[in-house]
């Protein structure tokens, strides 16, 4: 299993994953659902790559790196690391967002992918803990987080706010 930073070599597989990912699923937003391959290559891919080292972005924008989880040559998941927190992220989505391809769920990819992502996040983020948010009805994702050492730090009506100590 391998976590790869977004790149141009894997563009076709990344596009297939991105275009199939719903616009909003369990709180992970994807404004590029259904985009054409040409549009992905011309605009979306360069934009997503640029998020790691943004230039001319609004003050509220936080650098974000996209990673893809691969198993035996097949892209099975997407993981995003936000490099630091704003007040909105601290009380909301947190540092990491992720998804696993629908037909690959229940195979341990979420747990393994989050573990690999945490290793990268530990090198990037300045905070002492990694912040995550999960929908209360998303039991599978709660288990993924707990399997990676998360604890529940709070909640609102719809979400649990999870924390994982950096190592």
Residue 52, helix vs strand vs coil: coil
Separation CA 6–CA 90 (nearest Å): 25
How confident is the model over 61-75, as pLDDT tens digits? 899 999 999 999 999
Q: How far apart are CA 91 and CA 155, in angstroms?
A: 10
Per-residue confidence band for 56, with pLDDT thresholds at 50, 70 and 90 = confident
Domain boundaries 2-165, corresponding CATH code: 3.40.630.30
Cβ-defined contacts of 35-39 (< 8 Å, 24+): 37/12
**Is residue 167 very low, low, confident or very high in pLDDT (cuts 50, 70, 90)?**
confident
Give the whole-angstrom CA distance, residue 50 versus residue 64: 9
User: Among 96, 86, 100, 105, which Cα is nearest to 166's?
Assistant: 96
pLDDT, position 137: 96
3-state secondary structure of 124: helix
Domain definitions of the chain by residue range: 2-165
Q: Which residues of 30-65 are buried (b: 16+ CB within 10 A; e: fewer)?
A: bebeebeeeebeeebbeebeebeeeeeeeeeeeeeb
Q: What is the per-residue pLDDT for 25?
A: 83
Given a cut of 90, is residue 98 above it in pLDDT? yes
pLDDT the model gives residue 3: 98
Residue 12 has pLDDT above 80, yes or no: yes
């Amino acid at each position: 299993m391998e976590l790869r930073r977004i790149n141009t070599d894997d563009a076709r597989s990344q596009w297939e994953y991105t275009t199939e990912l719903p616009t909003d699923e369990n709180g992970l937003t994807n404004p590029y659902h259904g985009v054409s391959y040409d549009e992905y290559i011309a605009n979306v891919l360069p934009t997503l790559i640029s998020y790691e080292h943004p230039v001319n972005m609004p003050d509220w924008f936080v650098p974000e790196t996209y990673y893809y989880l691969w198993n035996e040559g097949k892209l099975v998941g997407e993981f995003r690391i936000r490099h630091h927190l704003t007040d909105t992220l601290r009380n909301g989505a947190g540092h990491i967002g992720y998804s696993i391809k629908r037909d690959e769920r229940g195979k341990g990819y979420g747990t393994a992918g989050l573990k690999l992502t945490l290793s990268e996040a530990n090198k990037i983020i300045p905070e002492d803990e990694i912040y995550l948010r999960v929908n209360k009805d998303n039991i599978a994702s709660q288990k993924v987080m707990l399997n990676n050492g998360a604890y529940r730090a709070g909640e609102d009506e719809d979400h649990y706010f999870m924390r994982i100590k950096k190592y």
